[in-house]
A = this chain, B = another copy of it.
């Protein structure tokens, strides 16, 4: 695999000087164009010690404008990093759209070293590589340009290089004992590297193997590869954006046509709902009609199967709430002591009572340990990143509990239904979400996801109530009525979401919310169950 990088390729000083000036200009111009692009550039530098990884990063920073470059090198994680899944430190450093991130000793480094030193088995190593694949795929699917340089030196060349660095008083600090220890493991290192490169080189995130011995050859190779990749990706994206714009226009036209149908039927539906709300005895099952954009016809959904008649009397409620809260306080104290993080995700219909349920839940907790994070429109810093970035950034530290009021599931609910995400985007989101949640759970986070369900009639009643109560009226917007008109589409979305993302470790808890008392107690009890189980 590395033979082509042990050929002793060189570039003469004259040749280098001849091309370097125009290359510099090209790179600077390109960087200005890139700043307006809708994707980030992620460049990984890995390889043999002494093969010029650091020097390449330095050179890029020197030749291009470092103001729009993020360079990161990773050593021991900080405690704030250790308290989150491994990938957190990389996510927090990702460059925003229009910028370049240069990553040294990053996500490949630890797994490769661990495997070389025999600290993980080949099977474990492969699992790490799979995670890396998923991570890079996620970013590339979102438009990121990912470039990976493997800087190579033959065994003898590495020895020469280390010796010459040691001799140079200005460079000698670059070489330490560990470097020589690693050199003795050269063959094992390259064998492991080969495996990593073979398994993680994809069409979306290619490896470029660079012969590192000659600085001029290496520099020109890295810089021209970078230039061509950025230029090519910009062209691809431009073409792609046209296709996307057309797809969005089609989706939007289709949506409007559907919406018109819904509006025709709405009056009737409203009247039925009002009548049913007045006379619950006569309530009849509203059949799910085919309104999904993909033309699927579904009989029953998980929501239809819920027993929405469950209630809890005021007395029962008082008692049960007190008991559940007390237990929750104890359990969350224990998770804090043991450094176990908890993430509670709340999704549900408008007016399903998320806010109230969250307040009743957190009232049993010590405010020192929890935080409620509402997710509405992303900020501009968030919009410049992958859609999961803003959830990564709010992950709790060890022992803390966070409640997410709405979450990454917006991708397969509102973004899907409203067409903000294209079908290919929300369809692949299930896999991205499962991957993300698996990282959380593997890290030891307790993750529970609640869907607060109410019937369409109950929602109507609550909307009407909100209209009349002054301090609730701000909660009701036109948006809510519009979403209500798409009830059936959302039902299909929820059903599919539960089907595809409810796992044993990160289950969906469907909460019958027509009776608020019942719902609130059920939620707190469910949190207790999961904490108890995790505490063992």
Contacts and interface: CB of A to CB of B under 8 A. Distances in A.
A65 B355 contact: yes
A302 to B, nearest CB: 27
Interface stretch (A184-192, A228-236, A366-374): A366-374
Interface size grouping (class) on chain A: 35 or more
A102 B370 CA distance: 12
A32 B472 CA distance: 10
Nearest to A58: B367
Contact of A330 (B70, B170, B333): B170
A47 to B, nearest CB: 15
A471 B22 CA distance: 11
Contacts of A368: 54, 57, 71, 73, 104
Nearest to A57: B367
A333 B57 CA distance: 17
A317 to B, nearest CB: 16
A62 B379 contact: no
Copies of this chain held together in the complex: 2
Interface in A153-184: 170, 173
Contacts of A69: 372
A363 B61 contact: yes
Interface in A369-396: 369-374, 379-381
B471 A28 contact: yes
Interface in A64-95: 65-71, 73, 78-80
A365 B54 CA distance: 10
Contacts of A199: none
Contacts of A471: 25, 28-29, 32
Nearest to A27: B471
B170 A54 contact: no
Interface in A20-62: 25, 28-29, 32, 54, 57-58, 60-62
14 contacts: A29-B471, A54-B368, A57-B367, A60-B367, A61-B362, A62-B363, A67-B374, A70-B371, A73-B367, A78-B80, A104-B368, A170-B330, A379-B380, A380-B380
Given A25-B471, A380-B380, 4 more contacts: A61-B367, A61-B372, A62-B363, A102-B367
